[in-house]
Amino acid sequence: MAAREEAARGLPNIEGFLYREAHRGATHRRVAAFTARVEGLTPEQKRDIEQWYVDEQKDVARMVTDHIAERVGAMEAQHHLRIRHWLRGTLTGMALITLTMIACVVVILGSSR
């Protein structure tokens, strides 16, 4: 495999990694800013809140991803069904046109004798 093809295959993985890391970094910054504003928290309490928030964000992201994947799957199924119906109708129409053309040729050749 050429280096260009290999790089092209790896690019979505790199993009996904960078997106996840950016989201994770933003999550950590948000919760750190929150715990910094709350007075009276011990360092352990801050860590617990930060860990809970990060875990919660991971769960939310997973739920959103699962929902999107389910919707994409459902839309693909609907699309494939529509395409099958369209192809069936097209095939039926083409068969009818072909039979009509054959009948016309038979009639024309039969009348010329």
Instruction: Give the C-alpha separation, 16 to 25, whole Å.
Output: 14
pTM above 0.85, yes or no: no
Please count the helices (runs of H) and the strands (runs of E) in the chain: 2, 0
Range of the domain at 8: 3-111
pLDDT at 75 over 70: yes
Q: What is the mean pLDDT of residues 64-83?
A: 96
Counting the structural domains of the chain, the total is 1
pLDDT at 112 over 80: no
Residue 27 · residue 54 · CB < 8 Å:
yes
Q: Say what the pLDDT of residue 9 is.
A: 78
Residue 23 · residue 61 · CB < 8 Å:
yes
How does residue 113 score in pLDDT terms, banded at 50, 70 and 90? low
Angle at alpha carbon of residue 80, lines to 79 and 85, rounded to 5°: 100
Torsion, CA 39, CA 44, CA 47, CA 48, rounded to 10: -100
Q: What is the mean pLDDT of residues 90-113?
A: 93
